[in-house]
Amino acid sequence: MFHTTRRAVLIGAAALALAPSLALADAASKVNIADLMAPGALPDIVEGKADAPVTVVEYASLTCPHCANFYMEVFPTLKKNYIDTGKVKFVYRDFPLDALAAGGAMLARCSGDKRNAVVELLFSQQKNWAFVDKPLDALQATMKQTGMSDDSFKKCLDDRALYQNVIKDRETAATKFSINSTPTFFVNGERKTGEFPAADLDKWLGLTPAEKK
């Protein structure tokens, strides 16, 4: 487990291995939907209709290049053609792979109703803040684009309770659903990992001919 404060985010950006105390079960190809959708330490922020025929849950790390590629190359099509049209309910969940990603997750949460926009911003500008010599300074500069003040930035990263909840949800994902890499998706409970092209969304989502209309 890692400790996140402004100092920890600055010095702890190396990849985080799962804590030895987390005993991971073999990754099942399908998980129980009720277990997957059970409330966590932090509330889910959901996009799409509650009764959409397909529910997609994504576990991602804000410092994961594959996750950023999904948001840049696939998510716009997913949102336009499937989420906004009522075919898909989409849930994004943080699974930070390092202290910097945990800090980004906290900052998104501290942004209130801007949370989804902040996640998309951090993914779209990932190379500008996650892979630089002074990532904390770069992250702070990126968050200024959202209107976040320096004081709010510091206060958010020093919020111990928020940090603990981010980590609690991460540990739940690791222990209950065997998450150990990002991005990991569950499509109506079926596990899917890695990248795929937007052209494969119909097949990836498993939509029936009637649901595609």
The per-residue pLDDT for range 123-170, each reduced to its tens digit, is 999 999 999 999 999 999 999 999 999 999 999 999 999 999 999 999
Contact status, residue 105 vs residue 94, Cβ threshold 8 Å: yes
* pLDDT (0 to 100) of residue 28: 67
Q: So what's the pLDDT on residue 208?
A: 74
**Alpha helix positions (H), 20-158:** 33-36, 65-69, 75-78, 99-109, 115-124, 126-129, 135-144, 150-157
Alpha carbons 70 and 68: distance in angstroms, whole number? 5
For the cut 80, the answer to whether the pLDDT of residue 209 exceeds it is no
- Read off the pLDDT of residues 44-67 as tens digits, 9 standing for 90 and up: 989 999 999 999 999 999 999 999
Confidence of residue 8 (pLDDT cuts 50, 70, 90): low
**Can you give the pLDDT at residue 194?**
86
φ/ψ region of 194 (left if φ > 0, alpha if ψ in -120 to 50, else beta) reads left
Cα(182)–Cα(154) distance, integer angstroms = 27
For residue 153, give the 3-state DSSP assignment. Answer: helix
Q: How many other CB atoms sit within 10 Å of the CB of residue 67?
A: 26
- Over residues 90-102, the mean pLDDT reads 96
Domains in the chain, CATH or no CATH each: 22-193 (3.40.30.10)
